[in-house]
């Protein structure tokens, strides 16, 4: 029988998709109130991978990635997703989201996104939230899987997540 150990704390990363009429600072201030100090913030990335969000959020969307200094127990990812859904509602206008928040948990070996959508490659976590291994770390970089969203397959996203992984690795070494 295997010996049960505590999970290694993981890096909380949130992909922020912003629509017109909302400022990044408003969203990041709210996220810091809940999840603590931000230790990485990406540049503004035009979101041109799909028009899935256009009807609700508009056509000119931008993605940002942030990560948080405080490492989290990976078993809390579902509760984090529930909180980010509340934040999306808080910033919505006339029943439409102006921000989409995609929380993920980074281990040295993988990046897991939280989702409300069931699929064969997603594992139920709790309260209607699923976890999806979106990227695996192999040969010194994150690699997409068969089901990885097109934007998370992009060189830009992978480069950003590799940078955040280096921050995370340093944090683990200093613990």
Per-residue pLDDT tens over the stretch 43-74: 999 999 888 889 999 989 999 999 999 999 99
3-state secondary structure of 94: coil
The pLDDT value given to residue 28:
98
Question: 38 falls in which pLDDT band (50, 70, 90)?
Answer: very high
Q: Are 46 and 74 in contact (CB under 8 A)?
A: no
> Distance (Å, rounded) from C-alpha 136 to C-alpha 109?
6
Cβ–Cβ contacts within 10 Å for residue 120, how many? 5
Q: For residue range 111-165, list pLDDT tens digits in order.
A: 999 999 999 999 999 999 999 999 999 999 999 999 999 999 999 999 999 999 9
Residue 21 has pLDDT above 90, yes or no: no
What's the mean per-residue pLDDT of the chain? 96
Domain boundaries, the chain: 11-173
Q: Are 18 and 98 in contact (CB under 8 A)?
A: yes
The pLDDT value given to residue 145:
98
Going by C-alpha positions, the residue among 91, 97, 144, 142 that lies closest to residue 116 is 97
Cβ–Cβ contacts within 10 Å for residue 62, how many? 15
3-state secondary structure of 66: strand
The pLDDT value given to residue 139:
95
Task: Give the CA diameter of the chain.
Answer: 55
The pLDDT value given to residue 143:
98
Question: 105 falls in which pLDDT band (50, 70, 90)?
Answer: very high
Residue 175 has pLDDT above 90, yes or no: no
Could you give the dihedral angle defined by the CA atoms of residues 16, 82, 72 and 139, in that order, rounded to the nearest 10 degrees? -50
The pLDDT value given to residue 160:
98
Cβ–Cβ contacts within 10 Å for residue 163, how many? 14
């Amino acid at each position: 029988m295997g010996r049960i150990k505590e999970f290694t704390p993981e890096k909380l990363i949130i992909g922020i998709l912003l629509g017109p009429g909302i400022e990044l600072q408003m969203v990041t201030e709210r996220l810091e109130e809940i999840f603590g100090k931000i230790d990485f913030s990406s540049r503004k990335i035009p979101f041109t991978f799909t028009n899935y969000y256009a009807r609700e959020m508009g056509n000119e969307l931008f993605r940002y990635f942030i990560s948080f200094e405080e490492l989290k127990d990976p078993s809390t990812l579902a509760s984090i997703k529930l909180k980010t859904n509340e934040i999306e509602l808080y910033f919505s206008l006339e029943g439409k989201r102006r921000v989409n928040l995609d929380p993920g948990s980074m281990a040295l070996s993988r990046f897991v996104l939280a989702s409300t959508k069931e699929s064969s490659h997603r594992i139920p976590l709790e309260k209607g939230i699923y976890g999806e291994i979106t990227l695996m770390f192999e040969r010194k970089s994150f690699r997409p899987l068969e089901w990885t969203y097109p934007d998370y397959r992009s060189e830009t996203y992978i480069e950003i997540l590799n940078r955040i992984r280096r921050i995370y690795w340093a944090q683990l070494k200093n613990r």
